[in-house]
Amino acid sequence: MTPRLLLFLSLIGVTVSIIIGGGGGGGYNDHSDHHSHSDSSDSSDSHEHRPHPHRPRPPRPQPGRPPRERTNCPANWLLFTRPEGNWCAQVGRGLVTLQTTNKLQAFVATLGLDQAEAQCQALGATLTGLQSSLERQRLAEAARLLAVQYDIAEGAMWVGGRAKPECTSVSACPDSRNSFYWTDGHTQNGTDGFGWEVGNPMLEYHYLDHSRGISGCATLVFARSGGVVYFWRQFVHGLLDDIWCNGQARMYACGKLAT
């Protein structure tokens, strides 16, 4: 074989090798494309099945708390439990200080209705009504203890009760428990607190001075003994009496809302 023929055959072999190598490269690329497609598909699948992020539930509405019961009263005041709001009450007394021979001495004096109301207002209160017989009894007991302390045999205590405008006589309002009302703006105007002395309220004019009007204001009678009142034989401790509104009493009872 001639050298030229050998060179020719060698060139043909190199050419065939190059072609075959290119085909292999093409096959590799096809394989790479296949993997690339598979990866894309897997990525798509994983995206489709990815769980949604957790969203916190809105808080459930809580039932409202009931308002706090108001039970605070100033020191030495009584607490009365009432459905419409608790009530504080205190008994005060008329008090004057006189200079004796060698010392100042306190005496219990009487005071009028307006003076009693002013004393209550100075305490942020007003003359109190009585919503129940229990309230009336507790105030009468507080007055009795003051009577023992100041050596008072008996007397009357201003409370916030007035005759109804239409009740100008007993004949106009024969039902004694419905002839008066409470003036403190809080006490319910029922009949439970109106416990009167026998024969009262009389709703009468003053026997000496009719200009004083009818006995249209209420007081609570007290006795140091806690029993029968000596001065008014038919009266007993812890019941109401009607007197003229410009009269005098030894004590008074204030009331205000608890805090």
pLDDT digits (tens, 9 = 90+) for 7-26: 555 555 544 454 445 444 44
Q: Is 60 exceeded by the pLDDT of residue 240?
A: yes
Q: Is residue 168 part of a domain?
A: yes
**What stretches of 98-171 show up as alpha helix (H) in DSSP?**
113-121, 133-149
**Does the pTM of the predicted model rise above 0.85?**
no
The pLDDT value given to residue 97: 53
Token digits of residue 24: 């292999």
**Residue 165: band (very low, low, confident or very high) from pLDDT cuts 50, 70, 90:** very high
Q: Which is more confident, 52 or 87?
A: 87
The pLDDT value given to residue 124: 97
Query: Are 132 and 143 within 8 A, CB to CB?
Result: no
Q: Is residue 247 part of a domain?
A: yes
Residue 249 domain boundaries: 78-257
Stretch 171-190: mean pLDDT: 89
Q: Is residue 11 part of a domain?
A: no
Query: Are 214 and 204 within 8 A, CB to CB?
Result: yes
Sole residue written with tokens 């009167």: 196
Query: Are 206 and 244 within 8 A, CB to CB?
Result: yes
Q: Is residue 23 part of a domain?
A: no
- Indicate the number of domains in the chain: 1
pLDDT digits (tens, 9 = 90+) for 27-57: 444 444 444 444 444 444 444 555 566 677 7
CATH of the domain at 214: 3.10.100.10
The pLDDT value given to residue 213: 85
pLDDT digits (tens, 9 = 90+) for 50-63: 556 667 777 776 66
Stretch 144-161: mean pLDDT: 94
Q: Is residue 33 part of a domain?
A: no
Q: Is 70 exceeded by the pLDDT of residue 133?
A: yes
Measured at the CA of 183, the angle between CA 69 and CA 164, to 5 degrees, comes to 135
Q: Is residue 249 part of a domain?
A: yes
Query: Are 164 and 217 within 8 A, CB to CB?
Result: no
The pLDDT value given to residue 259: 94
Q: Is residue 43 part of a domain?
A: no
